[in-house]
Every structure is written in C-alpha cells, then in structure tokens.
Chains A and B, each alone.
Chain A
Amino acid sequence: MTFLEYLQSRRTLLLAQTLEHATIVLTAVAIATVVGVLIGVATYRHRRGRAIAVAVAAAILTIPSFALLGLLIPPLGLGYVPPLIALTLYAVLPILRNTVVGLTEIDPALREAARGIGMGPLRRLATVEIPLAWPVILAGIRVSTQMTMGIAAIAAYVGGPGLGHQIFSGLANLGGVNSLNQALVGTLGVVILALAVDLCLALLGVLTRPGRGARSAARNPRSAPPAGAAATAGTAH
C-alpha cells in the first residue's frame, strides 16, 4: 500500500486521532494559560516570588516526558487524565515567563498614571496591564502549543489520545506492512497540525492586538513617534 492509499483507507480514524490530538493540546494550553497568567500576575511584583515561580516551572519542564507520563500512571491510571496533566505542567513555563516579562516591561509611568486617575488594582490589571502585556503572553502561548504538540504524541504510551498511536504502532512493527506509513503519517500529522494551530494563534494575535501596535508602545514607551510619522508607525511588527 502506498502512503496515499494508506491515508485514504484510514481516513476516518486519522481524522478522529488528529482531532483528539488537537483537543488535548488545546485543553492543556488553555488550562496552562489560566494557571500561568494567574501565577504571573500574583508574583511579578515581587522579585523573589517571580524567581521561584519561574524556577519551579523550569524544573518541571526538565522532567523527561516519558518519565512524567509513566510516573502519573500509578496515582491516576491510564487514559486521558495523566497526559492532560503532564501537558498542562509543561505548557505553564513559557506562558508564565512571558506573563512576568510582559507585565514587568510596562512603563511604570503608565501604571502610575492609572493609579493617579483613580483606578483600583483589579481595574488596572484588567484594563491596562493585561491588555498591554497580552502580545507577549500570546507569544508564550504559541511556544507552549508548539511544544506540547510534540509531547502529546508520547501520550499514546499511557493510553492517551491522539496521533501518537500511529507513531507507536508503526515503530513497534517496523518492517511490517504499513508500519512505515503509520509512523510517517503520525509524525507528519503532528507537524501539520502544529503549523495549522500556530497559524490560528497568529491570527488571534492580529485580531486581539491591543489597539493597533500597542505592543511597541508597551516595550518602548519613551519613544513617542514624531508628529506625522505616527500614522504609519503602528504596524511595524
């Protein structure tokens, strides 16, 4: 069977597995975004606190995924939950780190202006700080998504969902009928899915850009553009 014939014959299964793969990754990243942003917001003002938070997240990321998935089996069993937790843990670091960076890069004068006109802490966070840090946070989300796409393939090892099944069964029967096709389709599927999701996130970035070009302003707030040059300066990213 050629590669194309294989694709054709397993169409339904492959589509289902791709969908599962995307679902578990996006769920994990969504949870990690909430967790990462919350921890980032809670710790970014304190040098110690944010150092510890980032260090812990970084330490988690160094645990080999195979080992982490395996270690989660005894308490949680096989299936959907252990890979979801593992993926979430891995996805936290880039988001957390970018949240902290995004928030600390905001011009202190802006923060004070917000305070000075009578905004409370929560309102400041919601209307000024998070929107200004958002492009940086979103960049973290994209990194997390790319990273967990690959790791999710290993979830099949503990009975998790996704394209990992194709890869694992292909590699297990290497030399057998269709084994190469299986490994290839699994791998390519993950890559294509990752690119597609990243494209969507990039689009989301364009749609949610705070104002047009507020990102450059958040990073370099002192450089007010000269008169006249301003109209076109917004989109230089």
Chain B
Amino acid sequence: MSDDVMISLDHVSKRYRGQKVPAVENVSMTIHRGEIVVLVGPSGCGKTTTMKMINRLIEPSSGRITLDGADVTSLNPTELRRRIGYVIQQGGLFPHMSVATNIGMVPRMLGWDRRRIDARVDELLDLVGLEPGQFRNRLPQQLSGGQQQRVGVARALAADPPVMLMDEPFGATDPLTREHLQNEFLRLQEKLQKTIVFVTHDFDEAIKMGSRIAVLGERSRIRQFDTPERLLAAPADETVAQFIGAGASLKQLNLRRVGSIAYDEAHLVTSQESPAAVLRHLDESGDWAVLTVDGERRPLRWVGPRDLRPERDTLDGVGIPAPTVEPRATLRDALDAMLTCGCGAAVVVDDAGRYRGVLGIDRLMRAITEMRETERSRDRGVAEASYYRPPMPRTLAAPAQRGGAR
C-alpha cells in the first residue's frame, strides 16, 4: 500500500441484526490523500452507511477500514471522530449554542486554551466567508440555510483534520445557494487539500465536486469507480449509464470551469452615462449591448439599443439584469445563467463580484466542440492507463487558455 493512500476499505460489509440482506456488502476502495471521492447512488443504496463506517458511527460487521495506515477499530471512537471532520445536511449545528461555540466544540474537547480557540474561530469564519464580528455570537437559527452550511463546514475544519466526511452537505439549500457553496468549497479545497469522502444522490453534484466518483448500486456495491471524465465517456454498464441519465454530453459541461476558457470583453458604462452616448457607441461598434456597472465595477444590467430612451438623462434601472458566474462555476452553470436571462451571455466576476469578462454563448459552443474532440482523441490514445488522477484543482488541470480578460 503506498503512502499516498489515506483511507482504505477492505472487503467491508455491514449486516444489521434481523435483516436478511446486508446493507453494505463487500466494499473495497482506496482513497488517496487530497482527493474528493464522491459516493453517489440512489437513496437507500448504503452510501451513507458506507461513509459512516469510516468514522465508526456505524460499526462494520466484517472487513477492515484503515485511516492513514491504522485500523479504525483499533482506535478509540470518540478520539477517531475528533480527527475526522464531519459535515451533514444543514450543518447539524447545535441550536442552543452560538456560532463561535459550535465551531469551537472540537478544539475545546481537544483541550485548546480559550485564546487559541477564539483566534481559530475567527480565522475559520473568515475562511468560509462570514464576517467574524457579525456572525460570531449569532445563534444558528439567525442564519440562512447557506450560512448554516458554511458554519457546519467551519466546525468540521476546526481542528484541521486531514480527512472530512460530508453527507449531502449542500442538499438542503436552494439551487442557487447550492451552486455558490459548491464553488466556494472547491476554492477552499484548492487551499486545504483535505481528503474528502462526499456523499450525494445528485449526479451533477458528483461530477462537479469529485476527483473520482464511485457509482454505487444496491448494498453499496461499486458499479464504477472512476474520474468524472471517464465515467461520462465510458459508463461501465447499463445501470451506470441509466444513472448518469440522458444528456451525458450535456453533463460534460459540468467538467469544465468558466475560468478555463477565454472571455470576451463588454463595453462598460456607469449608470450615469447618457443614453445618447451609449446609442452612438452601439452604432459605431456593432455591439449588441453595453454593460452597466457600479462604482466597484460590479455588473448591473445589459442595455441594448431597444432599452434606450434618448429623452432620459441616465441609464438608471434600464435594461435587463445581467446574470453573473464565478470562474469556478462550471460551463453548465454558465449556460443556466444565460438561459435564465435569455441574453446569451454571462458576466464573469471575481470573488468580490467585480467584472472580469463576458462569456458568450458562441465561446461556450466552441468549448463544447473542443471538449468533444479531445474526448475522441483521448479514447483512441489512452486505453489502459490508471484512471486515478492526482488531486489537482481542476481549474488548473484543464487546458489553460485563460484569456487576459482585462
């Protein structure tokens, strides 16, 4: 077994008393340091049970699970769990404790002193994008679902565990928040390089989050364990193909990030600009619209020739709201944004929401064509390589041609 292996499951089964069929039967897999392995499968397939055996919330009936080389059954379960971050749906925050107390729980159990805990709590709140001064003393129910989820992640990271188990962590949030949390989490992971086991029933989420994906069938039987790319290109059998569902090629849009393709430029104006000047610009340049931005260069609205009233002085409230995506969003997220506004373009913004460029539908189409070509050539080329892909942020791994968007 190489040093690279963080978690290994070796012929693990779980049989509950009084039940004829085991809940998990004979599962073996190795999980490498720094990768996100997603367990995905229909509900009731035993994926959560499989995950919970790693931190011994559920004891395996047979087989061996090792964590960093040590058999987990040889370790004290509560101490083992303090070394493994655990995130569940909605964060599982204790409703009677403040955000700071929730996050500081594990460090407190590990006997850190107060000052160190307080400093760590603030550091983590910053890390997950919540202003410490504002959120430290709030109660969980004074937070939105997405904020609760962030605090849940912060709590799991508190004692800096090398391994995290995440059970449908973004499941209870609305699609927009979920997408945002996913992007944010991927950004964190680029920095933290944790070994993560991630359970979900959402295949799109699996493709987006996973370094490798294990598609599980009944009794947690592994139907295919592969990189997202391979999984989409070559499903192992009928069932996997069915689970991937229709539109596998559309799902490949989940594989590439907005940041990995070149942006276009839009003509930026402030809302104070006069409609007449904008009209002149549109005439001269042939652009379909200009983008209004605020003082911080945050995009506001698309303004086309038909939105302009020459008799007015400013562009305040004129045009259609411009949808934005982050560089970490997938091309599919970008397509969604474009379709929602019906304008065929999404504005790429940085973490602070400032303008970085524009992703047009034609760029997107070109990227898709490109993807399909590389797909074809790769299928011809590498047939029998090891499909384990070393953990690397996908934004960097993808063929880089990040256009100088400014």
Contact = CB atoms under 8 A, between A and B. Distances in A.
A234 interface: yes
A207 interface: no
Contacts of A128: 94
Contacts of A224: 90, 141, 145, 148, 172
A213 B81 contact: no
Interface of A: 109-110, 112-120, 123, 127-128, 131-132, 210-214, 216-218, 221, 224-228, 230-231, 233-234
Q: Which DSSP category, helix, strand, loop or mixed, fits chain B's interface?
A: helix
5 contacts: A112-B88, A127-B94, A226-B144, A228-B144, A230-B143
A116 B90 contact: no
B268 to A, nearest CB: 30
Interface of B: 55, 57, 78-83, 86, 88-90, 92-98, 105-106, 109, 139-148, 155-156, 165, 172
Contact of A217 (B88, B140, B146): B140
A234 B141 contact: yes
B176 to A, nearest CB: 12
B139 A211 contact: yes
Given A113-B92, A117-B155, A132-B96, 15 more contacts: A112-B88, A113-B93, A117-B81, A117-B86, A117-B106, A118-B81, A118-B82, A131-B96, A211-B96, A212-B139, A213-B139, A214-B96, A217-B140, A224-B172, A234-B141
A115 B165 CA distance: 13
A117 B156 CA distance: 8
Contacts of B142: 225, 230-231, 233-234
Q: Which DSSP category, helix, strand, loop or mixed, fits chain A's interface?
A: helix
A210 B144 contact: no
Contacts of B145: 224, 226-227
A112 B57 contact: yes
Contacts of A211: 95-98, 139
Which of B80, B92, B98, B141: most chain A CB closer than 10 A? B141
A110 B109 contact: no
